[in-house]
Amino acid sequence: MTEPNRRHFLLGSLAAGAVATLPASSQTTPQTQQQNDRGYWLSHVERVSEPVLKALNERKLRATMPVEAAPGERDSRAMGTHLEALGRLLAGLAPWLELDPSPGESAQETALRSRFRKYAVAGIISALDPSSPDHMPFGASSQTVVDSSFLALAILRAPNQLLGKLDATSRKRLADALITERRVQPGFNNWLLFAAMNEALLKVLGQSWDRMRVDYALRSLQSWYVGDGVYGDGPHFHWDYYDSFVMHPYLLQLMDTVGDESAAWTAMREPIHRRAQRYAGIQERLIAPDGSYPVVGRSISYRCGAFQLLADAARRHMLPETVAAPQVRSAIAAVMRRTLEPAGTYDAQGWLQIGLAGHQPGLGEGYISTGSLYLCSAAWLPLGLPPSDAFWSGAAEPWTSQKIWSGENAHTDHAQDA
């Protein structure tokens, strides 16, 4: 580990000795294990986020963040990669930024959150300020509709600490930026949800919003449902993690924000929640005993962000009855260990590099660049739950594949057709 990566581990003392499975010894108390587990998660939050948020706060993101991309794609990716880093990182951090300190929270966590709240708001203001060297080009390319929507998702997940801290000028600039994204025609696939999320935030901002874009996205996704908790990405099914990267989390947030604006949308809420719960159960079973998981489909270099839906379901207390919250805590920690700790994950200055288990540039599609990689933050959504929540306070448990492959009895699994 290089010195630039080592020096800002504020939470190292809490993370020391934390494990991703069960307590290491019978002397480990539930409270100690809870602190160690949460501290371990927060050590990754700090390591991944600090370079991005500190640079945003200083208006030096463009000056300091490298732009790694597929051969021949660097110049085209450089246009939007900074907006990618901002929106994607905050989308995962938002529930934690929104959380108020509570009993059981460490002083280190409170201090880290306070600093990152300040950096995040400063970064959003800078991104919207035409005079800033980090001004983001909303609407300048088709990719910006994707990452403006991740920023919208982040703001909707933290309405008090992100949206509520913006001054009137920045709120107006934010609305104008989202309206500018309407010039982008989204593809007939998961991109419909990106356009819909931007409209949902415009509604919250008190602006005129396009109900048709939201309705078209919601109705299209219902028509693309293929069964057993899975949506097609467009009319056809794709083997990848986009049901977790986009479909389920976006549908859940749209139901939160605009679900009561139409009787037809309200009627979608129950099946959307039921399908998400089923897919969360599938995701938990995909995590192998060692924290690895099938390397299949596009965007695998988003690393542990592949489990955004499982993390979101845990945050929302909507896990299947057969899946205990502490086993999800352990499972996601194991995934983080496999995807955020291998040598080569970070460059010498602490920025993420393309790969899944280290630096593996061949795993990056043409649309992947450095900013894209910060969707790994989506695994951290349960940090929006206080330390007293059962997700954190419950005794660590093995996850399903650990139970089964160690010979322990377990529940059978059956498809859900509706």
**CATH architecture for residues 30-405:** Alpha/alpha barrel (1.50)
Going from N- to C-terminal start, the domains of the chain cover 30-405
Low-confidence stretches of the chain (pLDDT < 70) are: 1-35, 418
Confidence (pLDDT) at 417: 76
Which residues, other chains included, contact 311 with Cβ-Cβ below 8 Å and sequence gap of 6+? 328, 332, 378, 379, 380, 381, 382
In this prediction, residue 33 carries a pLDDT of 53
Q: Cα–Cα distance between 272 and 282 in angstroms, integer?
A: 15
CA 300 to chain centre: 14
Which residues are within 8 A (CB) of 232 and not within 5 positions of it... i.e. 6 or more apart?
224, 225, 226, 238
3-class SS of residue 3: helix
What is the pLDDT at residue 10? 57
Between the CA of residue 187 and those of 145, 220, 230, 234, 340, what are the distances in Å? 11, 12, 19, 9, 31
Distance CA 43, CA 337 (A): 11
Distance CA 417, CA 79 (A): 43
Give the pLDDT confidence of 171-194 residue by residue, as tens digits: 999 999 999 999 999 999 999 999
Burial of 73 (0-12, 13-18, 19+ CB in 10 A): middle
Kindly tell me the burial class for residue 138, based on how many C-beta atoms sit within 10 Å of its own C-beta (0-12, 13-18, 19 or more). buried
In angstroms, the CA 93 to CA 8 distance is: 18
- Tens of pLDDT, residues 82-110: 999 999 999 999 999 999 999 999 999 99
pLDDT at 388: 96
Which residues, including other chains, have CB under 8 Å from residue 152's CB and lie 6 or more apart?
Answer: 87, 178, 197, 198, 200, 201
Say what angle helices 107-128 and 30-57 make with each other, to 10 degrees.
Answer: 30
